[in-house]
Amino acid sequence: MAAPPNPFEQQKPISGVKHVLAVSSGKGGVGKSTVASNVALALAKTGARVGLLDADIYGPSIPRMWGALNQKPELNEGRKLVPLARFGVKLMSIGFLIEEDTAVVWRGPMLFKAMDQFLRDVDWGELDFLLVDLPPGTGDVQLSLAQKVPLAGAIAVSTPQNVALTDVKKAIDMWTRVNVPVVGIVENMAWFNAPGGEKLQLFPKGSLDAYLKEKDIAKLGEVPFHPLVGMGGEAGIPVVETHPDSAESRAFIAIAESLRGRLQ
Ligand SMILES: Nc1ncnc2c1ncn2[C@@H]1O[C@H](COP(=O)(O)OP(=O)(O)O)[C@@H](O)[C@H]1O
Ligand SMILES: [Mg+2]
């Protein structure tokens, strides 16, 4: 009897790209796109060559976060899409290819095709890191990425409370099943540095740390909540660019350094 087809046989590296990293979470709104954007920029500031692919087909937010709304990437002579360059990071988003208020209603096979195009029909050039900002959850987009390309690893983003952790556990379970190493967790909106110097816990602290210890998963960093972070996202310039010395930016930079240490 013939062996069942192995979907992971389609995996092919992207030539010129060293490390492809998935940025995922179980939940929406925990700050995946914010973390992906600021860590991408922080990596670029450490001298790495960085690309950021926005594969959140349900809610692409990279165009807005990088001041690139309504930009249309050009095709080069080899008929590949040319990523936009912002602050030294190469950007590509599903949002560049569809109108802002248009919903994407795609089934699995179309998603697989779209993912392939984003990985291979984009002129990424030489990159040390390609970060992929994923939609929340454990669905076709995540699986198609894992099947199309060997991933250096996945980063999961969580907020402190247990409702977020429950979903992060599912994301980690999914990566483990498809043999993608989990590089670590970023705890976002971990606290708020109040003007009086007090450290305010905006969300109740759940059992994230105990879970990470039990599973031997690294915590890559803790990013405080600060309105500047959200404002950067709205204004289209990530906070690491506008306020590099803020506590939040320093947290993003430390995460980038940790990633560089883990992935040579
Ligand atoms: N550390 C933070 N401090 C303040 N606001 C944040 C922080 N992280 C994310 N946000 C805000 O939270 C909202 C959701 O973040 P986003 O990155 O879009 O989440 P996701 O991609 O997981 O859906 C955005 O408005 C963003 O600006
Ligand atoms: Mg997002």
CATH number of the domain where residue 188 is located:
3.40.50.300
| CA-nearest residue, atom 15 of ligand 1 | 31
Whether 7 maps to a domain, the answer reads no
pLDDT in tens, 181-215: 999 999 999 999 999 989 999 998 999 999 999 99
Q: Which domain holds residue 91?
A: 14-262
Whether 95 maps to a domain, the answer reads yes
Whether 4 maps to a domain, the answer reads no
Could you give the CA distance from residue 77 to residue 164 in angstroms, rounded to a whole number?
45
Whether 3 maps to a domain, the answer reads no
Whether 158 maps to a domain, the answer reads yes
- 139 ligand 1 Cβ < 6 A: no
Let me know: does 74 contact 25? Beta carbons within 8 Å.
no
Whether 6 maps to a domain, the answer reads no
CB atoms under 10 Å from CB of 199, counted, come to: 10
Whether 42 maps to a domain, the answer reads yes
| CA-nearest residue, atom 23 of ligand 1 | 29
pTM metric for this prediction: 0.95
Q: Check pLDDT > 70 for residue 156.
A: yes
Whether 243 maps to a domain, the answer reads yes
Residue 3: the pLDDT is 67
Residue 10: the pLDDT is 78
- 160 ligand 1 Cβ < 6 A: no
| CA-nearest residue, atom 6 of ligand 1 | 230
